[in-house]
Structure 1
């Protein structure tokens, strides 16, 4: 039997009985799973950033200084809570203001000449405040001609209401339109593959833009994070080949050469060394022109060695059109690929060339 030597990137022949082989295999499996399960994704499959910031200086002060970004980054439950609390506070404060105007005008002592008619308690003034913000006219409760401030305050409250509703509705719209949503899952292929392409080892993913969010000026960038050596803080950019524009599903290809972080990665490393490949796709929408960004990640368990994507675009000679079969978008087929790292494969090719030249 042959065992892979990680340090020398080669296979060594070993001999042992069945019991020792079973113990060795089980120990390698347990160590493999204990090693890889300790690490989690930096970027989730849906594109969310899996980080938690601690000991930020003046953290809460910065939240209030930049309320716009705070509203856009908090969860939906806090957006709805803020919407309810701000409106309730506005109703209550303007209700108190109406009550103060009525008290200053002598409504509580008068019997026939009122500034605000048909109410003399806090509940009534709060209802007047709600009617001012949520209706187009007054009914049972309203300010009279005697009450000058009673007509100035509704105007002020209407302006405040427009500001509150405009800010919160705008925040809700931008939050819905944010690119980091579950739509990222429909843009990238579920798996990445490593196989030979034009005689070179390549890492490939498939990308498709069904909604046209990134079809203008599309830019796709890959990053490599090695989690085997310690803290996953070293990020290396992976170069990709130009791919044109997204009129149909295309494959993003990274040629694994001597400058690639995957140069020494072998099939055995996919099982033992945890790493992550982050993919970021940016571009403009063909409908709104709005810039958008989608991202996902592929860990070593998401990368399949010796596979290629099944073709999903073909030409129909009858209709004279290109047909896209989205059923094959994530379909893979086996492909003959050397079971060694690109570095080791390159050394073998050089050795064969040297032997040919010597002959």
Structure 2
């Protein structure tokens, strides 16, 4: 039932060569393309036939600009100022035109009192718009008491300019300081592994934080299994999301990432992977999503890092290489990140955790120490 060579159990040896040959088949890698979450944490989801989608995005313009690419955000940033200068410049030009300041007989008339002194062309009105909006005040052009509408509009543009500047600067600052950038220093192992730990089959992956000074506090790691499920009534639930319980050392989902840590999911009776064997892994289609969330120590902002593992990225019968060692000369712990993704073969039963448990229950009395 179960091929195993582990410790005191005197059973059959595992066939690693068969497992390697199947894992290198092209059919396995074709399955990896159907993933809901990319390795970098971005969702592989496209929304279609959403009514009034553009209107909804425009109603939440701030979030839309923060989530947009930098080129579009900077483009909106520049265009908002240029268009506001141009629009207010046109209005200043119209105020001067309706008051008669631009007529030939009044332009050079020293006795004529214009709305804005020394604003005789459209280019002059545009420059006055820029000076007013940003309170530059070169002193060459100024508003007089002749036109009440000019005074009111002067106050309006000053307030509007402050609002536009605050809005756009807020977008750029939020985009630069958002916690998403903190997740770039969080590392996940390229592969997850399945092997025995403490006599039980476990699904494991490694996670680490490359920052030395500012750590994540209150960090939690959650995992979700995505695969199809058929109910007793024949209903196909696809995709169906199931929670995978994670333990780190002797703790629960919370972890302090002083050094790279291996997260462990014990494949027991409560695990949806309880009936998964090495042969099933070659043909199974599922995805394990990992979500790490914590608070940045220096800023107090909550950040989140995500990744996923397809069935073809789960290595059966492997274990992660140790990274942490103590240096007696430096009197400190050293972490070798060059081996962060490295794994090595270990003797592991090829059967499922369910069959392994049954096998051990039957043969436990026959074990010779």
**Structure-2 residue corresponding to 1:88:** 82
What stretches of structure 1 of length at least 5 have no aligned partner? Answer: 1-24
- Residues 130-166 of structure 1, C-alpha deviations (whole Å, 9 max, x = no match): 2333562226544345455445434432322222222
- Residues 158-201 of structure 1, C-alpha deviations (whole Å, 9 max, x = no match): 32222222222222232333344594474212221111111111
**Structure-1 residue corresponding to 2:12:** none
Q: How does 1:190-339 map to 2 (within 5 A)?
A: 190-211=190-211, 215-226=216-227, 232-241=238-247, 242=252, 244-339=255-350
**Which of residues 55, 58, 64 in structure 2 aligns to 1:64?**
58
Pair 1:51 & 2:61 matched: no
The 2-side partners of 1:247 and 1:281 are apart by: 15
What stretches of structure 2 of length at least 5 have no aligned partner? Answer: 1-20, 231-235
3-state SS of 1:206 partner: strand
The 1-side partners of 2:28 and 2:305 are apart by: 31
CA shift in 2, pair 1:232/1:209, >3 Å? farther
- Residues 178-231 of structure 1, C-alpha deviations (whole Å, 9 max, x = no match): 344594474212221111111111111111122377621111000000158777
Partners of 1:195 and 1:201 within 8 A in 2: yes
The 1-side partners of 2:143 and 2:297 are apart by: 52
Count of residues paired in the alignment: 329
The 2-side partners of 1:162 and 1:60 are apart by: 27
1:301, distance to aligned residue in structure 2 (A): 2.0
- Residues 328-357 of structure 1, C-alpha deviations (whole Å, 9 max, x = no match): 22221222111222222222212213767x
CA shift in 2, pair 1:349/1:210, >3 Å? same
**Structure-2 residue corresponding to 1:4:** none
The 2-side partners of 1:61 and 1:214 are apart by: 40
Q: How does 1:86-165 map to 2 (within 5 A)?
A: 86-109=80-103, 110=106, 111-112=109-110, 113=112, 114-134=114-134, 136-138=136-138, 140-144=140-144, 146-147=146-147, 149-165=149-165
1:286, distance to aligned residue in structure 2 (A): 0.6
The 1-side partners of 2:37 and 2:146 are apart by: 64
Q: What CA RMSD, in Å, does the superposition of the two structures yield over aligned residues? A: 2.9
The 2-side partners of 1:105 and 1:197 are apart by: 87
Partners of 1:179 and 1:294 within 8 A in 2: no
CA shift in 2, pair 1:309/1:245, >3 Å? same
CA shift in 2, pair 1:139/1:40, >3 Å? farther
1:307, distance to aligned residue in structure 2 (A): 1.2
3-state SS of 2:258 partner: coil
CA shift in 2, pair 1:214/1:191, >3 Å? farther
Partners of 1:240 and 1:254 within 8 A in 2: yes
Partners of 2:185 and 2:209 within 8 A in 1: no
Partners of 2:216 and 2:295 within 8 A in 1: yes
- Residues 5-34 of structure 1, C-alpha deviations (whole Å, 9 max, x = no match): xxxxxxxxxxxxxxxxxxxx99x9576566
3-state SS of 1:195 partner: strand
The 1-side partners of 2:298 and 2:82 are apart by: 38
CA shift in 2, pair 1:271/1:278, >3 Å? same
**Range moving further from structure 2, 105-114 or 172-181:** 172-181
3-state SS of 1:119 partner: coil
3-state SS of 2:271 partner: coil
Structure number with the bigger relative contact order (C-alpha 8 A, sep ≥ 6) is: 2
The 2-side partners of 1:180 and 1:228 are apart by: 33
Partners of 1:95 and 1:128 within 8 A in 2: yes
Pair 1:74 & 2:80 matched: no
Partners of 2:295 and 2:303 within 8 A in 1: yes
The 2-side partners of 1:43 and 1:134 are apart by: 45
CA shift in 2, pair 1:182/1:49, >3 Å? farther
